[in-house]
Amino acid sequence: MKIKFYANGGKPKAKAAKKTLTAEAKALGLEVTASGKPDVIISLGGDGTMLRAVHEFPDVPILGLNLGGLGYLSSVGEREFIKALRMLAKDRYSVSERTMLEVRHGDSAAIALNEIAILTGMTGHAAVMDVESLGRAVTRYMADGLVVATPTGSTAYSLAAGGPVLMPDVGVVVMTPLNPHALGARPVVVRDTVRFSVTSRRRANGAHEPLGVYADGEKAFELAADESVEIRRAAITAKLVELDGYDPYEVMARKLGWSGSNVK
């Protein structure tokens, strides 16, 4: 098997880990390459590093080794690094195809594994957004923004905004408003075959709040008044390596600190 390490250059630990793991990988019979197309990319860093790897190598399976904080995507902890390499060497893994989203504005498009976020600036004013699906009105939000997340991204920005946790293999997306000015505005889960358009509108007094559109945290577009974006399932998927024994419920409990009820 040919592997390539993709390290976060801003983390001193990543450089040291790459050196150590390169030697370990070669001892296990894995071929470590710095060029060409590998069989597996090994991301060394946090979830941000892994997201960058997904965008840079969209057709290569990626295994995330966590050197960051929460590390939900890069769920393999430092104590398990060598074990992970051994499992790769013995083909003890599978590849999970994860849904990605595409956001389109005119002739331009961007894709995201976690979420598409439509956000106001630091003005303190809420934005007005009309959401439609196939020409039908869904709702009008007055809020600080809107997050449309995949199952993979449901444990990131969407969760922090009050959205639900989705299992990785469900064919849905979740739309979560940020600080909506309506008690009835709640996250909505729909099939991932649904296409949405989100249009930036003026407030009742004629004022308009410019909106930034972000794909996995990277700014893709800015919306002026009455401009729209379309959000839909992308034609490509992200390929994430899951080592034998991977359990999304165990990862959820461990990463989110869920330990069950305290009631005796």
- For tokens 């399976």, what's the residue? 61
How far is Cα 242 from Cα 6, in angstroms, rounded to an integer?
Answer: 17
How far is Cα 41 from Cα 60, in angstroms, rounded to an integer?
Answer: 7
How far is Cα 146 from Cα 133, in angstroms, rounded to an integer?
Answer: 15
Out of 39, 47, 130, 244, the active site residue is: 47
Cα-to-chain-centroid distance, residue 101: 10
Q: Which one, of 52, 148, 111, lies nearest residue 236 by Cα?
A: 111
Lookup: tokens for 71 = 């590390």
Cα distances from 252 to residues 2, 75, 113, 259, 262, in angstroms, run 30, 10, 18, 10, 18
How far is Cα 71 from Cα 261, in angstroms, rounded to an integer?
Answer: 24
Q: Which one, of 20, 43, 248, 207, lies nearest residue 120 by Cα?
A: 207
- Can 47 be counted among the known catalytic residues? yes
Cite the active site residues.
Answer: 47
